[in-house]
Every structure is written in C-alpha cells, then in structure tokens.
C-alpha cells in the first residue's frame, strides 16, 4: 500500500519492508489503544474463565471471574460471597479454593436477569469513594432518563432494593432488579454514553446484538458469550433491529475486520451509540414496552426524511444539538401535547421554524440539515 508510487524495482524490497514495519507499528499502537479503552475492556473482560449455563441460552457460555464479580461481557451474572460465587438467583457458580473451580449445579441452569422496578422508580446511592468522573457520568445519564423516559432514579432512603454507583474496574451492571444492593460500576473512561448503557441494563434492557432475529441483520465476527443469542424473554425483539441503539455494543475494527457487519449496507463504523449519543426511538420504545407506556417521547428528530435513519428524542430545550447532530436533522415527529421550534444557529439564534405537527421532509420548509438548536414546550 505504501509503495504504489515507486517506479523502480530497486526500491521495491525496501518499500515492502517499510510497509511491513509500518503496519506492525500501527497494529501495536492499535493494541495499546484497546488496552486503555474502558468500553472495549468491559465488552470483552479478561480474567479467569469458566463455563456456565444461563437461562435463555441454548449452549453453555464462558463467563469471566474478575475481582469480586462474574461477568458475561459487561453484564454481571454473579458475585463472590465468602468462598463461593453466587448467581443472581443464589445458585453456586463456583467454589473458591485458591483457584476457582466449577462445581456441579444440579440442573446447571442459572438466571442472570432480575425483575422490573415497581413503577419504574429505581432507588440509588453513590459510594462515598466514587470518583468525580463517576458522579458526573451518572448524573449526565440520569438527567437523560428523566428528560426522555418515565424511569426515575431517586436517592435511596431505606429501600431494601437499590443500585449502588461505584468506581470499579470498567463499566458494568446487573440486568434488572436482582433484590438487595446491586452495584453498577462507572470506572475510569466510562463517560455519559457508557453510563446510559449501564443504567439501561439496571432498568432491565438486554444487549441489542443478542436478539433472536440478530442473524438476519448482522454478521458477528466478535466471538464470545456476550454475543450469544438469547432465546429467553430478554432476547425477544422489540421493534426493528437498531444498529445505533444505546444497548448495542460499540463496533471495533480488530484484526482487519469489524466486530459487527450489517447485512443491509448500514455503515459498520456507525454501529453502536457513539454517533447518536442518546436514546434512539427504538430504545424509548423498548422502555415503554417493558414499563407499560411510560416513555415520554416528546419530539423526535431524524437524520433522514420520512422519519428514517439515526434518531433521538427530547422533551426540553437544547441550545446546541452537538457536533454529531449539527446541521443533520431532516425530519421531525411530534408526540401529542408537544410543539417545537428549530433554529439554524446556536442558543436559539438565527431563523426559526415552529410547529406542533410532524414534518416528514424539512426540505419542503427550506430547513433541511440546518438545525443547530431547538426549543420544546408542552401545548
């Protein structure tokens, strides 16, 4: 690749050698980047591995014992208790005797997911030792849930069941309400977007890439149990496959290929929620389906006409839509009781377009790909 412009055979060998060295250095640098990537290391944790059968999965999967918890990807399936590792439903996953050993578990099938939170209200407390970065990430994600869904994170008083926000190694959470205290880690490098994902697990959301219809939509090159299709209720599809869901794993380019390759031509570099950096319409629909119509959609903005492409929804003003969404909105859908005004400058400046109606194509209003800020109010 580096020697295409060379005209003389005398330089060919040197060019190939330089190319090989350059590729090797680039690969080494990429490996170093991954080693320091909190999200990557949470998706693919390293530790002592063991086999376990989880409810909803056809075959045994490989879990990882890391610190005081057992993981499948960034989902916690068990915790160390004395000389044992107990699953969410209190079955023994491992006996600890210097080195972890797998113990017979009767049927061998354990449940790794919890229940819904009554009324969508989730009590929480923040570990006094939590870092400032952890607190900032949690508060940012919590504010997003409060602005766009019916889920409410409330400071714990004396509730028996609650989430404890901690600064640990990586970004991880249990799925749903497991009973008692359950830790949720937002470690170094876990910003607001990963926090939104982990809070989604605590709410009860599974990964998008484990849906039962997954193989119709995407080719999975990333091996591992975190990508095993869930044939239980957690893997039941809600809505269309959402490549940019906050619950879809981030896509990494490793060993010359993407972890997830869409089968419909969707750009692989857009898979995951980084580009959208908020709830998609599919995320809001999933929360609504689980908690009974509780998601407050408000006004939804789409990157393409006819309410297609990437999307996000809001119920309050935004003086700046962010780098990813600036001059990118092409259609708008409005929930009953809301109205909006789009502005083509920051801080609600410049020309405006207001409506309490759906607009499938902003081209017809001479406002396509022009929005930089917006106001939203209830009628």
Residue 198: active-site member: yes
Q: What is the DSSP letter of 130?
A: -
CB neighbour burial string for 89-126, b if at least 16 within 10 angstroms, e if fewer: eebbbbeeeeebeeeeeeeebbbbbbeebeebebbbbb
By CB neighbour count within 10 A (0-12 exposed, 13-18 middle, 19+ buried), where does 323 fall?
exposed
Give the number of other CB atoms < 10 A from CB of residue 166.
18
Residue among 261, 275, 232, 202 at smallest CA distance from 53? 232
Whether 8 has a binding-site annotation, put simply, is no
- Contacts of 360-364 with C-beta under 8 Å, sequence gap 24+, read 360/305, 360/306, 360/307, 360/331, 361/305, 361/306, 361/330, 361/331, 362/305, 362/329, 362/330, 362/331, 362/332, 363/305, 363/330
> Minimal CA–CA distance to 195: which of 236, 163, 227, 240?
163
Structure tokens given for 192: 């607001």
Q: 198, 244, 269, 324: which is the annotated catalytic residue?
A: 198
Query: Does residue 254 contact residue 40 with C-beta atoms inside 8 Å?
Result: no
| Residue 377 burial (CB count, 10 A) | 15
Gap between the terminal Cα atoms of the chain: 59
Alpha carbons 337 and 356: distance in angstroms, whole number: 8
30 is in an annotated binding site: no
Rounded to 5 degrees, what angle do the CA atoms 181, 89, 115 make? 65
**Is residue 207 annotated as involved in ligand binding?**
yes
Catalytic positions, written as ranges: 198
Binding residues for Zn(2+): 197, 201, 207
Binding residues: 197, 201, 207
């Amino acid at each position: 690749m580096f020697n295409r412009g060379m005209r003389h055979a005398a330089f060919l060998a040197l060019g190939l050698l330089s190319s090989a060295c350059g590729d090797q250095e680039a690969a080494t640098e990429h490996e170093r980047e991954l080693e320091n990537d909190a999200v990557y290391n949470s998706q693919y944790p390293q530790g002592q591995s063991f086999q376990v059968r989880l409810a909803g999965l056809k075959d045994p999967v490989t879990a990882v014992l890391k610190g005081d918890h057992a993981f499948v990807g960034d989902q916690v399936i068990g915790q160390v208790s004395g000389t044992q590792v107990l699953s969410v439903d209190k079955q023994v996953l491992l006996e600890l005797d210097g080195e972890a050993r797998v113990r017979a578990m009767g049927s061998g099938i354990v449940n790794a997911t919890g229940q819904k939170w009554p009324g969508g209200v989730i009590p929480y407390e923040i570990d006094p030792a939590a870092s400032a970065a952890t607190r900032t990430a949690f508060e940012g994600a919590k504010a997003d849930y409060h602005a766009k869904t019916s889920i409410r994170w409330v400071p714990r008083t004396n509730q028996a069941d609650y989430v404890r926000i901690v600064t640990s190694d990586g970004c991880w959470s249990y799925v749903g309400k497991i009973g008692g205290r359950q830790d949720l880690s937002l470690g170094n490098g876990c910003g607001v977007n990963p926090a939104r994902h982990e809070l989604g697990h605590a709410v009860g959301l599974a990964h998008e890439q484990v849906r039962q219809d997954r193989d119709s939509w995407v080719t999975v090159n990333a091996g591992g149990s975190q990508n095993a299709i869930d044939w239980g209720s957690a893997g039941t599809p809600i809505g269309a496959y959402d490549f940019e869901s906050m619950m879809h794993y981030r896509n990494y380019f490793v060993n010359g290929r993407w972890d997830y390759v869409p089968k419909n031509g969707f750009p692989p570099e857009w898979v995951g929620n980084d580009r959208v950096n908020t709830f998609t319409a599919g995320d809001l629909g999933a929360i609504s389906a689980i908690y009974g119509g509780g998601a407050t959609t408000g006004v939804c903005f789409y990157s393409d006409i006819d309410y297609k492409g990437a999307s996000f929804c809001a119920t309050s003003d935004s003086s700046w839509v962010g780098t990813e969404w600036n001059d990118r909105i092409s259609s708008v859908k409005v929930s009953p009781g809301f109205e909006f005004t789009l502005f083509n400058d920051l801080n609600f400046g410049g020309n405006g377009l207001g409506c309490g109606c759906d607009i499938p194509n902003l081209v017809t209003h001479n406002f396509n790909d022009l929005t930089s800020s917006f106001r939203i109010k209830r009628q």
